Amino acid sequence: MSDKKLLLWDIDGTLISISYLGGEIFDRAFLRALDVKPPQRVNMSGKTDPQIVAEYLEMLNFDTSEFEAMTAEVLECLRLELAVAKEEVAKIGSPKENAEQILQYFSGSDDVIQSVLTGNIVENAKLKLNIFALDKYIDFECGAFGSDHIDRKELVGVAFERVEAKHDIAPDPRSTWIIGDSPNDFACAAASGLRCILVATGRFGFEELSRLGADLVCENLSDKEILNLIET
């Protein structure tokens, strides 16, 4: 086991916000791919893009035998629609408070590998962070993405394999941190015995997140306890 710490950041709601555009871009992707708009929004927090697409396909009563092909088509259109909306995202969205500062801090540490574990497909994860100039702090080659698996809990193994392939080290679950904003982030960490920090900067409040059992729950990324806990 390596003594390096591995930080796996969630993106939406944790590092950045793109407001209503998160759901809007899915609507545009469905219109482009299948010429239909979902009648209502699903709860997207902490879910992978393929999972969100599957929930929409069920809502729209498509034949399950067509889900695989339709999901691939919608995800490709999701990539295209985010690229088209890049300037709109930059205008409407923003980094979360202290996101750049904390990413910059850990990116300068020789004892830390810093990447993402996100429900976004890989292209959209990179673009979203690039829009807000946060991508330079992330080792994407060690990350795991919604395009890797529909089940978020499976992404931990993907990230571990990539860390080992690049750095020739086996990450220690006890020194691996998932940092997110939703119960699904905590469930992902708990399923693999990882450490977890939750921030109440997304759809879930401090009290609700505090009941889950994470190592630390904070109002936002400015809480100094984040640095203290990870560096302990």
Q: Rounded to whole angstroms, how far apart are CA atoms 197 and 194? A: 10
Please, are residues 97 and 89 in contact by the beta-carbon 8 Å criterion? Answer: no
Please, are residues 93 and 19 in contact by the beta-carbon 8 Å criterion? Answer: yes
pLDDT at 232: 86
Q: Rounded to whole angstroms, how far apart are CA atoms 133 and 83? A: 15
Q: Give how far the C-alpha of residue 72 lies from the chain's centroid of Cα atoms, to the nearest Å.
A: 19
Of residues 94, 93, 102, the one with CA closest to residue 222: 102
Q: Under CATH, which number does the domain 5-18+94-231 receive?
A: 3.40.50.1000
The per-residue pLDDT string of the chain (232 residues; one tens digit each, 9 = 90 and over) reads: 678 999 999 999 999 999 999 999 999 999 999 999 999 999 999 999 999 999 999 999 999 999 999 999 999 999 999 999 999 999 999 999 999 999 999 999 999 999 999 999 999 999 999 999 999 999 999 999 999 999 999 999 999 999 999 999 999 999 999 999 999 999 999 999 999 999 999 999 999 999 999 999 999 999 999 999 999 8
All residues at 6 or more sequence positions from 211 whose CB lies less than 8 Å from its CB, including other chains: none
DSSP reduced 3-state for 185 = helix
Quickly list DSSP for 56-124: HHHHTT--GGGHHHHHHHHHHHHHHHHHHTHHHHHHH-EEPTTHHHHHHHHHT-TTEEEEEB-SS-HHH
Task: Write down the pTM of the prediction.
Answer: 0.97
Q: Which two tokens stand for residue 104?
A: 């910059």
Q: DSSP letter at 177?
A: E
